[in-house]
């Protein structure tokens, strides 16, 4: 059996598709045939670079700009997406929606300000909620929603408590929507990375922290964005048609035991 071009004929939107885990997801989906909307918020160059890399690999992609975490963000995103598809003469609509964009909030409860709390919820929980709400009419039957959560909702991480709460909200959104969208053949799943080498984790440049995070995995290494993208691509494919409402750990088995 071949797994190549399993997303042929599909259109995908990857939020935060320009850098880190989202970039690897965008590349993987495009390599397997999807037309990919590479969403970004601030770093236009990174989005352009990702689109160029995809095209160099023979794939199809275009950038979509929308700052998330501000009023009207979901509408801005979908209007830009619709416009870009129309400009390309592509069919309107989407088959694969990956809610990946996110920010961290590395503070224990005593140090989190109200503004920081609101910000991390606005980007990580509110934005995906309304992106999905505005996607319901655009998402074709048989489609896929993949929410990128975190292994932080599986174990206690007091140092990032507000961040973890946003991901827990996303986890529950997955469960509810899987029930609601099942009659349309749409699957909704969560993929939860562990310690993954991206720019969201500047402390990974500190050797002691790097070593501690690596050793938390049963494989004694950090995750790479590609490790996560491979799982997302499977969940987004027809091979995963019988999997919905699930929280899928893609952490390399971090914190499995003592």
Q: Is 40 in the active site?
A: no
Residues in contact with ligand NAP, shown as a per-residue x/- string from 82 to 101 under the rule CB under 6 A? ------------------xx
Name residues contacting ligand NAP, limited to 130-189 (CB under 6 A).
Answer: 148, 150
Nearer to ligand NAP, 143 or 194 (CB): 194
CA gap 1, 214 in Å, rounded: 34
63 binds ligand NAP (CB under 6 A): no
Among 18, 26, 174, 233, binds ligand NAP (CB under 6 A): 18
Q: Least distance in Å: CB of 150 to ligand NAP?
A: 4
CA gap 90, 152 in Å, rounded: 39
- Edge-to-edge strand list for the sheet holding 139-148: 60-65, 35-40, 11-14, 94-99, 139-148, 187-193, 247-250
21 binds ligand NAP (CB under 6 A): yes
The 3-state DSSP class for residue 233 equals helix
Distances in Å between the Cα of 155 and the Cα atoms of 105, 171, 253 are 17, 14, 12
User: Which tokens in the block code for residue 206?
Assistant: 């500190």
CB 50 within 8 A of CB 22: no
Q: Which residue intervals of the chain are DSSP H helices?
A: 20-31, 44-56, 73-87, 114-121, 127-135, 161-181, 207-215, 225-235
Name residues contacting ligand NAP, limited to 100-129 (CB under 6 A).
Answer: 100-103, 123
Stretch that binds ligand NAP, among 55-63, 172-180, 192-200, 235-243 (CB under 6 A): 192-200
Helices (H) and strands (E) in the chain, counts: 8, 7
Nearer to ligand NAP, 102 or 252 (CB): 102
Give, as one character, the DSSP assignment of residue 91. P
42 binds ligand NAP (CB under 6 A): yes
CA gap 181, 234 in Å, rounded: 19
With CB under 6 A, what is the number of residues at the site for ligand NAP? Answer: 28
68 binds ligand NAP (CB under 6 A): yes
201 binds ligand NAP (CB under 6 A): yes
Among 40, 163, 195, 213, which one carries the catalytic annotation? Answer: 163
Among 10, 11, 22, 165, binds ligand NAP (CB under 6 A): 22
User: Which tokens in the block code for residue 100?
Assistant: 């990946």
Active site amino acids: 163
Catalog residues that contact ligand NAP under the rule CB under 6 A: 16, 18-22, 40-43, 46, 67-69, 100-103, 123, 148, 150, 193, 195-196, 198-201
């Amino acid at each position: 059996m071949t797994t190549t071009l399993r997303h042929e004929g599909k259109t995908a939107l990857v939020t935060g598709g320009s850098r880190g885990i989202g970039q690897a997801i965008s590349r993987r989906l495009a390599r397997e045939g999807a037309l990919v909307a590479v969403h970004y918020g601030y770093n236009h160059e990174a989005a352009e670079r990702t689109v160029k890399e995809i095209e160099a690999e023979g794939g199809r992609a275009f950038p979509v700009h929308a700052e998330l975490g501000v009023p009207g963000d979901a509408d801005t995103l979908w209007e830009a997406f619709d416009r870009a598809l129309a400009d390309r003469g592509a069919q309107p609509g989407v088959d694969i929606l990956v809610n990946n964009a996110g920010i961290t909030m590395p503070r224990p409860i005593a140090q989190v300000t109200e503004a920081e709390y609101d910000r991390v919820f606005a980007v990580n929980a509110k934005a995906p909620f309304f992106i999905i709400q505005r996607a319901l009419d655009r998402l074709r039957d048989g489609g896929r929603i993949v929410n990128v959560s975190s292994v932080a909702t599986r174990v206690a991480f007091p140092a990032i408590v507000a961040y973890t709460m946003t991901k827990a909200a996303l986890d529950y959104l997955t469960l509810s929507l899987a029930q609601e969208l099942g009659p349309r053949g749409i699957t909704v799943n969560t993929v939860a990375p562990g310690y993954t080498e991206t720019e969201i984790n500047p402390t990974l440049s500190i050797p002691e922290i790097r070593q501690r995070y690596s050793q938390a995995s049963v494989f004694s290494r950090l995750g790479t964005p590609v490790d996560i993208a491979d799982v997302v691509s499977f969940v987004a494919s027809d091979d995963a048609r019988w999997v919905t409402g699930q929280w899928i750990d893609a952490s390399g088995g971090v914190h499995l035991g003592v």
